[in-house]
């Protein structure tokens, strides 16, 4: 079968398309014939061999998220059968042979039925983005119906799902994006208000929208640029969840004292098994109720995985980047 393999750490060109034997599922494992794989920013960091959360043994096939059809089942698996349409969310799986491939073997509890209304490309857009959105909103911020949340950078794969989840539980959602295309996606996902990325004008609009109170929750994707403004905008006793960061920032801690707000870091790798399982069950419930509908942004063939890694950190985020697999 075809797979993308890394035999040495480095730049995107280390991603090579090669032929390997099909993996065989063991007890409590499932093999899925994949038709789409999600590309996540953390996979670009893993590729360099410098990512503190995970340094794989080489050779290594990247990928934690995908969607396809079950084509083999190990002993002990009861919730799936051969032929089931499924999505794979294998970040914390004990075994995961990598979703940048025609077939993947992983723990059975990382494989879940995909509703007929959701395409394989959309299914591959779940996994890390949906789990991240859920953990940020519900396990870290503990958002409640009736609260106002600012999703700062809402047009990417995680941000759009966060908009849908927050609206689904009855929160007022303010989403920001940097392009007209991005703003249209955020609005279509259910945001109550859509603004430019934070400027003096958008801060003024947020103040007006929240009647001078500020958002109860801020989901922040670029903390090294925005955290100081977040601290100025947040409501008293509010919660800021840092989902993304690409550098350092100097801030005045007094801003947090004035508001008595919480600044909460978040990394999906830190989720405990019970939290991870809670997230997966919630995502399935959101899917079945129609609240979640992933937005596919860019799609490239499997052989162009290196190009996907080049683009994912350089392009303006508009939905999820996907590798199509024949």
User: What element of type H or E holds 289?
Assistant: helix 273-289
Strands (E), 80-183: 85-89, 103-107, 111-113, 148-152, 172-177
Q: How many CB atoms lie within 10 A of CB 183?
A: 19
Burial code (b: 16+ CB inside 10 Å, e: under 16) for 258-296 equals ebebbbbebebeebeeebbebbbebbbebbeeebbbbbb
- pTM score, two decimals? 0.93
Gap between the Cα atoms of 168 and 190, Å rounded: 9
Q: How large is the average pLDDT for residues 312-322?
A: 79
Q: What is the mean pLDDT of the chain?
A: 95
C-alpha of 132 from chain center: 5
Question: Per-residue pLDDT tens for 66-84?
Answer: 999 999 999 999 999 999 9
Q: Which residue has the tokens 């065989």?
A: 24
Output the pLDDT for position 281. 92
The DSSP string of 228-281 is: HHHHHHSPTT-EEEE----S-----THHHHHHT-EEEE--GGG--HHHHHHHHH
What pLDDT band is residue 316 in, cutting at 50, 70 and 90?
A: low
Domains and CATH numbers, the chain: 2-126+294-324 (3.90.180.10), 129-269 (3.40.50.720)
Q: How large is the average pLDDT for residues 296-310?
A: 95
Output the pLDDT for position 212. 94
């Amino acid at each position: 079968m075809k797979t993308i393999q890394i035999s040495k750490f480095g730049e995107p060109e280390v991603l090579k398309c090669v032929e390997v034997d099909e993996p065989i599922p063991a007890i409590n494992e499932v093999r899925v014939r994949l038709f789409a794989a999600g590309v996540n920013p953390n996979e670009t960091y893993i590729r360099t061999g410098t990512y503190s959360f995970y340094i794989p043994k080489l050779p290594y096939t990247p990928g934690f998220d995908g969607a396809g059809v079950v084509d083999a089942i190990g002993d002990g698996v009861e919730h799936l059968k051969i032929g089931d349409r499924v999505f794979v969310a294998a970040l914390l799986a004990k075994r995961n042979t990598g979703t940048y491939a025609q077939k993947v073997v992983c723990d059975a509890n990382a494989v879940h039925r995909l509703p007929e209304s959701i395409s394989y490309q959309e299914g591959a857009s779940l996994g890390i983005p949906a789990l991240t959105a859920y953990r940020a909103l519900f396990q870290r911020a503990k958002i409640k119906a009736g609260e106002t949340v600012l999703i700062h950078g809402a047009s990417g794969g995680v941000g759009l799902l966060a908009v849908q989840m927050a609206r689904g539980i009855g929160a007022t959602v303010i989403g920001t994006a940097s392009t007209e295309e991005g703003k249209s996606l955020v609005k279509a996902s259910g945001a109550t208000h859509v603004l430019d990325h934070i400027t003096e004008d958008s801060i003024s609009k947020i103040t007006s929208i929240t009647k001078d109170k500020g958002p109860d929750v801020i989901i922040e994707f670029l903390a090294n640029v925005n955290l100081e403004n977040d601290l100025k905008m947040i409501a008293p006793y509010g919660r800021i969840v840092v989902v993304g960061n690409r550098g350092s920032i100097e801030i005045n801690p007094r801003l947090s004292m004035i508001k008595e707000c919480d600044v909460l870091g978040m990394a999906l790798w830190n989720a405990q098994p019970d939290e991870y399982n809670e997230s997966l069950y919630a995502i399935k419930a959101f899917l079945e109720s129609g609240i979640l509908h992933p937005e596919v942004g860019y799609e490239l063939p499997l052989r162009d995985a290196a190009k996907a890694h080049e683009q994912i950190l350089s392009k303006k985020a508009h939905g999820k980047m996907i590798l199509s697999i024949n």
